[in-house]
Chains A and B, each alone.
Chain A
Amino acid sequence: MSDLNAQMVEKYRNSFLKEVEANVEEGEWVKMCMQCGVCSGSCPLGPYWEHPPQEIFMMIRAGKREEVLKSESMWMCTSCYNCIVRCPRGLPITHIMHGLAHYAERLGLAPKQNPTRRFALMFWDNIAKHGRVNETVLSIKLYFMDGFSAGIKRALEMLPVGLGMLKAKRFNPWGLFFHKGCKGKRDIQKILAKAREIELAKAAKFGG
């Protein structure tokens, strides 16, 4: 168990709902859910979710901590905002899903092999370093994330798509070697480091 996870288990022994309220983006909204099911019915990937949003909210209140935080479900959110505009109680569902996924990641409980988790982390890493997305590096890393031979197979499958984009001048093969990113990338790194520091300090205050 990660240190942070152990601390949180200790601190919020009786109430996962409280833990979510204090640590998850927009978590204080969870208690407002009236279990109508509209969100689950509106979700484009709903059929694939083991626990659609309505169920996740119910499980949070029922204290099913491990089941929620280890779930692949939140990682399937496409950020389509369908649920948000339809929820009769006005819950910012999309942000809660993102917040739960991020919190699970911080605690080391997120499902390691989930492809969207891995892609999302690569994406963040890419922009946090350079300030802008380097699409070339990102796609190569994505194809090769399961090792070299799987990567070659995936890259070959994607080759016609890539060549189409190249011909249309919408893919930059040189991006692998030359991509400037932002001039202020040092500034961006400093801003992000500070933001993270503030966030961790807050978590320690609530949860420590």
Chain B
Amino acid sequence: MAKKTYHYYPGCTAEKNASASNYETSVMAMCEVLDIELKEIPDWNCCGASIGYAGGGELPRLAMNARNLAIAEQENPELDVVATCAACWLAQRETKERLLEDDALMKECNEALAEAGLKYEAKQRVRHMVEVLIEDIGYEELGKHVKKPLEGLKIAGYVGCQTNRPFGIAGESFENPKYLDKMIETVGAEPVEDYEKKVQCCGGALAFSEPEKSQAMIKDIIEAAYDGGADMIVTPCPVCQMNVEVYQEQINKRYGTKFKMPVVYYSTLLAVAYGKSAKEAGLDGQVIPATKLEEIAKR
């Protein structure tokens, strides 16, 4: 397959030593194998996440996202913009669609962008990395590069909210999207069937501000994975990954549970299956070690 090139919007959590730096590591390893070239948007800024609404309001939030898109358009209007973070993707895509739909809003937004000499025309598609894998590469091609099938592993595909709603992945349902399960099969592992908390909310930013309420939901997500016999959970979202992985000790204290469930990214699975080392796959970034993946990576 020929090389595929995209604008890349990593987002704040992917920065060096930030909470999803391990996601970035595994994405780079995976893209190398798949011959995907990612051109980082120069000097990109934060998408405002979902929580930016309180201080931001509508137009400032849209303008902030439009700055990234306008810079990408200026660089090369032919390339799609690809985000790895669910919240970044959602915010950028929402911005594009709102502005395309509403000429008055587009005009106001461009008035604001003009302060920095920018102009946005909403020419490019805004996509999540998962869409690139499924639509541009395809499961078959994804499977062709597998050197070390993840045999014997049972994995719960936790899709969460923002890669699933409101836009979702084309051809998938909101209530039971199957793409993570298919990816799990593609790398030779077994998906947990009917994983009950597949699209349950993890609490998002409320994990910081309302930890009790958020941790009650996280507990259910992990419990359902154990009930399905999972060795680990896989997710496409850095917010889900962090929320479900790092509070397990606190949850154990609060509820008397004994959770120790590794939570990895789809890109971690692909990188390991493609024969990358534990470090290249970002496994040293696990707070709860994914021992079984480490063993396969060492083989």
Query: Which A residues form the contact surface with B (CB < 8 A)?
Result: 25, 44-45, 48, 76, 78-82, 84-85, 94, 98-99, 101-102, 105-106, 110, 115-121, 123-125, 127-128, 131-133, 135, 139, 142, 157, 160-161, 164-165, 167-172, 175, 182-184, 187-188, 190-196, 198-199
Contacts and interface: CB of A to CB of B under 8 A. Distances in A.
A192 B64 contact: yes
B203 A78 contact: yes
Interface in B155-175: 161-162, 165-166, 168, 174
B166 A85 contact: yes
A188 B111 contact: no
Interface residues of B, number: 66
Given A81-B162, A123-B51, A187-B115, A192 B22 contact: no
Contacts of B285: 168-170
Interface in B175-218: 200-201, 203-206, 208-210, 213-214, 217
B115 A116 contact: no
Contacts of B209: 115-116, 118-120, 142
A84 B115 contact: no
A206 to B, nearest CB: 13
A170 B46 contact: no
B250 interface: yes
Contact of A121 (B54, B206, B250): B54
A127 B109 CA distance: 18
Contact of B116 (A120, A125, A170, A191): A191
Contact of A80 (B18, B64, B118, B201): B201
Interface in B98-132: 108-109, 111-116, 118
Contacts of B55: 105, 120-121, 123-125, 128
B54 A165 contact: no
A79 B174 CA distance: 15
B134 interface: no
A76 B250 CA distance: 21
B284 A161 contact: no
Interface in B60-106: 60, 62-64, 67
B217 to A, nearest CB: 6
Nearest to A158: B250
Contacts, number: 214
A92 to B, nearest CB: 8
A196 B16 contact: no
Interface string B28-68: 00000000000000011110111111111111101110010
Nearest to A143: B208
B45 A132 contact: yes
Given A45-B213, A184-B45, 9 more contacts: A82-B161, A98-B50, A116-B51, A120-B209, A124-B51, A175-B17, A187-B116, A191-B113, A191-B116
B204 A80 contact: yes
B67 A191 contact: yes
Contacts of A85: 165-166, 168, 174
